[in-house]
Amino acid sequence: MTLLQVEGLGKSYESETQVLKNVNFEVKTGEFVSIIGPSGAGKSTLLRCINRMVEINEGRVLFNNLDVGTLKKKELRKLRTDIGMVFQHYNLVPRLTVIENVLHGRFGYKTTMQGILGRFTEEEKEHAFFLLQKLGIEDHAYKRCDQLSGGQQQRVGICRALIQDPKLILCDEPIASLDPNSSKVIMDHLKSITTEMGITCLVNLHQVEVAQDYSDRIIGLKQGEIVFDGMGRLLREEQINHIYGTELRELITV
């Protein structure tokens, strides 16, 4: 079943700067898809068009048969409960505890007053602890997030996305700020989210080998256009060179 359709998507921040150009692809329910490409290729903008954190200029995005670009404020709020987001720099509230940050993922289901007062049900709190346990950080539940390592903070971010009960998780360079060991932990968790929980994952990555190891499919972006869309084993050296160009040597040595 197709969960996400991107049709003729174009995005410009200024009239002379087109970040995305006629982007077309589909993602099926339960797929793990990586988007690769050099810095400035449009990867982050693409994810932010999908959940309409930025407005769409051309084309359309269909999520679960809803035209994302046409949704009104209340409808968009509901859509975003179905689409979790994991950020490169975690996007947590550093002074709050781990459990408080995870529960913030439920704000989309609350009234403004419930959110301000932090009114969460016992079931929501139990589910938050279950997720922390699943990702191996339940012992840190009452620590402030600024006391955690980068890898631990990213796991908090994943828990916050999961507590939304999403159909899709968008991950924007989730391992770019992490060391290799922490990166593997995060990628293993993201993969298990798809295989064990059936949640679709769309992940921006800069590391080609990581994308090949974990993905059902890879989409290659260059200067805002898709130049590859297929299984990782079909991605050849010449295609990687075409995607990354002058960044390839740097990519290999990092």
Instruction: Write down the pLDDT at residue 140.
Output: 97
Q: Any idea where the domains of the chain sit in the sequence?
A: 2-82+166-253, 91-164
CA terminus-to-terminus distance, the chain:
38
Can you tell me the distance from the alpha carbon of 105 to that of 161, in angstroms, rounded to the nearest whole number?
6
pLDDT tens digits for 124-165? 999 999 999 999 999 999 999 999 999 999 999 999 999 999
Q: What is the largest CA-CA distance in the chain?
A: 55
Q: What is the pTM of this model?
A: 0.91
Distance of CA 117 to the CA centre of its chain: 28
Can you tell me the distance from the alpha carbon of 10 to that of 177, in angstroms, rounded to the nearest whole number?
29
Q: Are 213 and 51 spatial neighbours (Cβ–Cβ below 8 Å)?
A: no
Pick the CATH number of 2-82+166-253 from 3.40.50.920, 3.40.50.300, 3.40.50.150, 3.40.720.10: 3.40.50.300
Q: Are 29 and 200 spatial neighbours (Cβ–Cβ below 8 Å)?
A: yes
* DSSP-derived secondary structure for 146-195: GGS-HHHHHHHHHHHHHTT--SEEEEESTTTTS-HHHHHHHHHHHHHHHH
What mean pLDDT is predicted for residues 21-47? 96
For residue 198, pLDDT over 60 is answered with yes
What mean pLDDT is predicted for residues 174-192? 95
Q: Which of 105, 97, 213 is nearest to 158 (CA)?
A: 105
Q: Tell me the average pLDDT of the chain.
A: 91
